[in-house]
Structure 1
Amino acid sequence: MSSTVEDSGVDASGAPDGPDAPDLTDASPDTSDAQTPPAPGGPGHRRALIAGGLAVLLLVLGGGGMLFRAHQLRNTPAAENRALTDTEATSQVTGDVSDTLGKVLSYTPQATDVTAQSARELLAGKAAKQYTALFGQVGKRAKEQQLTLTTQVVRAGVTRLTGTEARLLVFLDQTAQRKGKPAGVVAAQLSVTAELRGGNWLITDITAR
């Protein structure tokens, strides 16, 4: 009942016998085009090391550049401007300056001395000198013409704020009225510089825009 290998048409290796049988001796994978790692110490290995070193160097330089740019940003005037970050200080200087302008730019014929006193307490530096030089004439005219001036800050924005100095852009309305005549409203825009002294912001410069 048993049959020999020759009768089955299969050789001892288990492959089909005959002219159409595939040649299995060349069945190993072709690795002629595969990239093999360069041999240690060879030219290819040295080139790989150099390329890797350049990549690391570029990465380090790029990181250093980013750190340098970050350092520049942290030390630019914009980064030092607390008006962008310190809401509490910004609110204080805005409130102090608005209150001061309302007091020193408002007067009645009977109480110009009250306005002058407020100016002595709330103005300093160049603003105090300018105000003193001008208000003498303004106060005299207010009494003669029975003129009342009321100033109200409509909007005030801090454009720059450091530890002890602030710059603001202020929009205000001024209502002027002579006795027996209708009132007139005039809008004004000021650039204001203030300094922190004794816990309060004093106006040191006022410029009409």
Structure 2
Amino acid sequence: MSVTEEVEEDTETPDAETEEAVRVAPWRRHRGLLAGVLAVLLLVLGGCGFLLRAHQLRDVPAAHNHALTDTETTTQVAGDVSNALGKIFSYTPQDTSVTAKEAREPLAGKAAQQYTELFGQVGTRAVQQKLTLTTQAVRAGVVRLSGGEAHLLVFLDQTAQRKGKAATAVAAQLSVTAELRHGSWLITDIKAR
């Protein structure tokens, strides 16, 4: 055999099996890498989905309601509003003007206007009928507390007595809106329920 024949033997075309093995080999070599890249991509997309959902859960209006989480502020607003309602809705025929003056401090905005209109009528009747009204907030629940605004549901017990007659007790419910101004909670809206 000559040298030329040996070279020709080495340069012969590979058979079909060898060609297929050469074509498949790169795919098989990169299959593990491709699987790893796909797994990382799925993890990143899944993580983004979880972050988006977590943001949506934190961004609901209930998340901004601190009525159950800020017990100190909830206690303060409930106390301030309860005390104010007890004062402004309690009077005797002799001190209606004092009650009207005291109402200026804890009331603001729409509630101050409502009270002025209502108490103008009630104060006159109280003097004429010699009516004494005692109001006590039995229960005040903060429904919503967000920033410097609170919405409350307040249950009142009121006892009315005309001179010479037996006292009558009445229960009342009020929806109250209060705002924090200069460290005190002022009642800005009152609605009977």
Normalised by the length of structure 2, the TM-score is 0.82
Pick the aligned partner of 1:69 from 53, 75, 86: 53
Give the Å deviation of 1:161.
1.2
How far, CA to CA, are the matches of 2:171 and 2:38 in structure 1? 64
2:101 is the counterpart of 1:117: yes
Where do 5+ consecutive residues of structure 2 fail to align? 1-23
Deviation at 1:52, TM superposition (A): 3.1
- List aligned pairs for 1:40-189, cutoff 5 A: 41-189=25-173
User: Deviation at 1:56?
Assistant: 2.1
Alpha-carbon distance between aligned partners in 1 of 2:36 and 2:68, rounded to the nearest angstrom:
44
Larger radius of gyration, structure 1 or 2? 1
Separation (CA, whole Å) in 2 of partners of 1:150 and 1:44: 89
The alignment of Structure 1 onto Structure 2 pairs a total of residues equal to 170
> Counterparts of 2:112 and 2:73 in 1: how far apart (Å)?
23
Which amino acid in the other structure matches residue 182 of structure 1? A
Note the alpha carbon deviations across 1:142-166, whole angstroms, 9 max, x for none: 1111111111111111111122111
Backbone CA RMSD of aligned residues = 1.7
Structure 1, unaligned stretches of length 5 or more? 1-39
**2:14 matched residue in structure 1:** none
SS of 1:194's equivalent in the other structure is strand
Query: Matched residues, percent identical?
Result: 73
In structure 1, what is the Cα distance between the partners aligned to 2:149 and 2:84? 16
1:133: Cα distance to partner?
Answer: 1.1
Listed as ranges, the matches of 1:2-13 within 5 Å are none
What SS class does the counterpart of residue 187 from structure 2 fall into? strand
The TM-score, its normalising length taken from structure 1, stands at 0.76
1 or 2, which has the higher helix percentage?
2
The structural deviation recorded for 1:198 is: 1.3
The structure, 1 or 2, with the larger RCO (C-alpha pairs under 8 Å, 6+ apart) is 2
Cα deviations by residue, 1:39-61 (Å, 9 ceiling, x for unpaired): x9543444443333332222222
Q: Which secondary structure does the structure 2 equivalent of 1:120 belong to?
A: coil
